[in-house]
Amino acid sequence: MDQAQLKHQLLIAMPQMDDPDFEHTVTYLVEHGEEGAMGLTLNRPVALSINDILADMEINVEVPPSEHHQVVAGGPIQQDSGFVLHRATARRWDSSIALADGLCLTTSRDILEAIALGEGPAATLVCLGYAGWDQGQLERELADNVWLSVPSTPELVLETPFGQRWRSAAAGLGVDMSLIATQVGHG
């Protein structure tokens, strides 16, 4: 399988996914190569708000962030690490990489400081932790039909309500998840 084709794609967990960390998830694949893969789950909201994160990091809030700054569990690995997905802006952040379709990933404190000043991106998705796959693991899971992949869109990543992301991502492929059986091969 060509790893370059999966980088910046969305992985949609199939209904038969039995891993509680990924059941009914949509995961943005940030990196995929011979060494493995790294992604950020997009539809697992947590009880923390952006204001809670800013307070924990002792960042003074001058302009309260809007509801367009959301926080999710990005995956089961290093859940104390934060990754900020956002649209590209004219401003550059200390640790930021361009993804696809105008999306960026930033891991530096300066973006949170800018949000607290009302000078950051208009919408962000703060992902706590990430998902990872060892060499060949994701390819095996794809061969076992555990995941579907679909191109990412900034709208799905940043704007679609959490409860609709799984079905909306699948609909991008013309797939209605409610019509797929959760049990296969059992007779």
Q: What does each of the 187 residues of the chain score in pLDDT, given as a tens digit?
A: 454 578 999 999 998 888 999 999 999 999 999 999 999 999 999 999 999 999 999 999 999 998 999 999 999 999 999 999 999 988 889 999 999 989 999 999 999 999 999 999 999 999 999 999 999 999 999 999 999 999 999 999 999 999 999 999 999 888 888 777 554 444 3
Residues 6+ positions from 143 with CB-CB distance below 8 Å: none
Neighbour count for residue 37 (Cβ, 10 Å): 24
- Identity (one letter) of the amino acid at 144? D
First to last CA, the chain: 31
Placement of tokens 């200390």 in the chain: 94
The whole-angstrom separation of Cα 44 and Cα 29 is: 16
The whole-angstrom separation of Cα 68 and Cα 74 is: 17
CB 75 within 8 A of CB 131: yes
Instruction: Classify domain 3-179 by CATH number.
Output: 3.40.1740.10
E strands of 55-153, at which residues?
69-73, 77-87, 96-98, 103-106, 124-134, 147-151
The whole-angstrom separation of Cα 31 and Cα 9 is: 9
Cα 63 to Cα 53, 94, 116, 123, 155, distances in angstroms: 15, 22, 6, 14, 25
Instruction: Tell me the two tokens of residue 57.
Output: 């990091």
CA 123 to chain centre: 14
CA 24 to chain centre: 13
pTM of the shown model = 0.91
